[in-house]
Amino acid sequence: MTLDEILKEIQEAEKIVMLAHETPDGDAIGSLLGLKLGLEKIGKKADVIVTKYARTFDFLPAIDALKTESDIKKYDLAISLDCATIKRLDNREYFENAKKTIVIDHHGSNNMYGDINYVNPVAPACAEIVLSMLSYYNIEIDSKIGTCLMTGIITDTGGLQYPSTTADTFEYASELLRKGVDIPDICKRTLQTKTKANFELSKRVMDRLEILENGKIAFSYITKKDLKEVNAEEGDHEGLVNIGRNIEGVEVSIFIRQDDEDEKMYKVSMRSGEYVNVSDVCLMFGGGGHPRAAGAKIQGTTEQIKTKLVNETKKYLKWFWGRSKKSSNWITFLINAF
């Protein structure tokens, strides 16, 4: 069984490193730290290497243990968490040079790039997978581990609001609450508290917001200049894509931001409401993610990128409405027939 194989590799490895995707969100950071603390309970130490992360997560237990680099060039075991492709893996040289590699993820677009792959696309967060793994290994989940993992679950489910949330998610939350995890505090810190820079960027996103395709698509953007003018730090762009999605009638929200290093490159974030699989849209541009939340990187001007993304999204809107119309006509036919 895969979980037993993973534990065997962890137990046999002396030097372990854990990595996540670039610009890690709450699920990535929470999964990394939760697993690190869990492994310590069975006597295994692991380096967690993250180039940079949002200060929103400074409250997490063991956050000070994060490293930006390591003197060790060849680890016995490298574990990737919450990352669908090796192209998006931060500090991937440690993964590529390791003797053995493990991938733990919940993205349906994961291309299974590890020696051992444990991917559950039904799980609403990678942190929930880590939680179930630790439980399977009979590792005690204390409030510190629980806080890290609940942060991952909270941020990737929008505070248990997204359709990906399952009955199991609520059961896990209930159990962690009993263990002393302060869920309301996590929600406040990660979902409700905004930095001044994020607030200023939100205003610019709203000023530029375009509602397209009869109100079904929302589009907006920020530039490198915007980020500099508001003194934005890592993570200050988080959540801006939801501004468009929260508008009545909008099915797909498209948000792009200029890359810090390459001004011709934009990072794309897409969110959908009920029926458009934005992961499929992003896959057309070399990206991916989840059906209701995905991303990619595209070169071009804001207008060029907007045109490409909107045109591709329109195909999925037309397919859905065409299919719905056919279904409606078929139901009408059956009703009239009887």
Strands of the sheet containing 265-272, edge to edge, are 210-212, 217-222, 252-258, 265-272, 293-299, 288-289
CA atoms within 13 A on the CB side of 296: 21
pLDDT digits (tens, 9 = 90+) for 230-241: 999 988 998 999
Q: Where are the alpha helices (DSSP H) in 49-156?
A: 92-97, 126-136, 143-156
Burial 49-66 (b: 16+ CB within 10 A, else e): bbeebbebbeebbbbebb
Provide the pLDDT for residue 134: 98
**123 burial via Cβ count (<10 Å: 0-12, 13-18, 19+):** buried
Provide the pLDDT for residue 306: 97
Amino acid at the residue 210: E
Provide the pLDDT for residue 320: 65
Sorting pLDDT into bands at 50, 70 and 90, what band is 333? very low
| Phi, psi at 310, each rounded to 5° | -65, -45
Provide the pLDDT for residue 261: 78
pLDDT digits (tens, 9 = 90+) for 133-169: 999 999 999 999 999 999 999 999 999 988 889 999 9
Write out the two tokens for 148.
């890290």
Note the pTM of the prediction, 2 decimals.
Answer: 0.87
Provide the pLDDT for residue 206: 97
* C-alpha span between 301 and 94 (Å, rounded): 34
In terms of DSSP bridges, do strands 116-119 and 100-105 run parallel, antiparallel, or are they unpaired? parallel
pLDDT digits (tens, 9 = 90+) for 84-118: 999 999 999 999 999 999 999 999 889 999 999 99
First-to-last alpha carbon distance for the chain, in angstroms, is: 52
Q: Do residues 144 and 62 make contact, with C-beta atoms less than 8 angstroms apart?
A: yes
* C-alpha span between 153 and 130 (Å, rounded): 11
pLDDT digits (tens, 9 = 90+) for 8-56: 999 999 999 999 999 899 999 999 999 999 999 999 999 999 999 999 9
Query: Over 131-171, what HEC string results?
Result: HHHHHHCCCCCCHHHHHHHHHHHHHHCCCCCCCCCCHHHHH
Write out the two tokens for 337.
């027939």
